[in-house]
Amino acid sequence: MKSSYRSRLVGVFGSPVDENPSVVMNEAAFAAAGLDWRYITMLVEPQDLAAAFAGLRAMNFEGVNLTIPHKVEGMKYVDEISPGAKLIGAINHVVRKGDRLVGDNTDGKGFVEGLRHAGMELTGKSIVVLGAGGASRAICVECALAGCTEIQILGRTASKAGEIADIVNNNACIARALPWEGTARIPACDILINATSVGLAPDPNCPDIRYEDIVPGMFVQDVIPNPLDTLFLQKARQRGAKTGSGLSMLVQQGAIGFTLWTGQKAPLEAMQRAMEQENASQ
């Protein structure tokens, strides 16, 4: 067989992105699978997104992940969007197919699988989601499809929260948008999800909500993988709630993305182990 000295390239576009640990998980997956692929973490400001996609095409990247704030805007720069991502209205994963770039969304699917891995089934559950961006859209749609009975979305931008509610209401789940002005009240629910970027390292803050509304028996989930134990989760545990970190969502959606890029089954155990070791070293 003729030798090839060209590594296949993928990565992530984001801002901020320096603290995004996806490279650890993906490099571990490629090594475990014996693939000469490399994952590159790239700081891309919003005004440079078009140029970044042009560079991706020119340098023959196999694909890229999109994180904050590019999940909606990135749809402009791909040639095709999967049906699920169209429904969600955001993409977080791009794969090259020949000369075409195809946008997909693994956020919501990874989130649902992460909850199931933690023993939390969604059938019949009521959910409150903080935030109305791309991650919130994906989570709300996939949770509705997974059997939730009610989803309430709190967003600073009322129109965006309303759009998500409209999408979900068309998919066999009751949904409504709630105003978020100042300190938000949290309605009674089974699962509370932070789908905002508040608390993402190096930001030490937490969403401005009334934490007294969190009660024992509630499951509280953050989508932020770094830090692993956010202030939001710490406050929730102080109120007696069970909590889940963004690590499970990150690993599960990474596994889905690995298969989309390579066509191979993801080495999930190696990915999980790499992330656990990385977090232990912090």
pLDDT tens, 65-82? 999 899 989 999 999 999
Pick among 3.30.43.10, 3.40.50.10860, 3.30.930.10, 3.30.565.10: CATH of 8-106+248-281: 3.40.50.10860
Mean pLDDT within 216-245: 93
Domains 8-106+248-281 and 108-245 share a fold: yes
pLDDT tens, 30-51? 999 999 999 999 999 999 999 9
Q: Under CATH, what is the fold of the domain 108-245?
A: Rossmann fold (3.40.50)
3-state per-residue secondary structure call for 22-78: HHHHHHHHHHHHCCCEEEEEEECCHHHHHHHHHHHHHCCCCEEEECCCCCCHHHHHC
Model confidence at 117, in pLDDT bands (50, 70, 90)?
A: confident
Mean pLDDT within 54-61: 98
Report whether 75 contacts 53 (CB < 8 A): no
Give me the pLDDT at residue 202, please: 82
Domain ranges of the chain: 8-106+248-281, 108-245
Report whether 73 contacts 49 (CB < 8 A): yes
**Residue positions annotated with a catalytic role:** 71
User: Percent of the chain having pLDDT more than 70?
Assistant: 99
From CA 37, how far away is CA 122, in angstroms rounded? Answer: 35
pTM of the model: 0.82
pLDDT tens, 176-225? 999 999 999 999 999 999 999 899 878 899 999 999 999 999 999 999 88
Give me the pLDDT at residue 1, please: 57
Model confidence at 10, in pLDDT bands (50, 70, 90)?
A: very high
Give me the pLDDT at residue 4, please: 86
Give me the pLDDT at residue 203, please: 87
From CA 211, how far away is CA 186, in angstroms rounded? Answer: 8
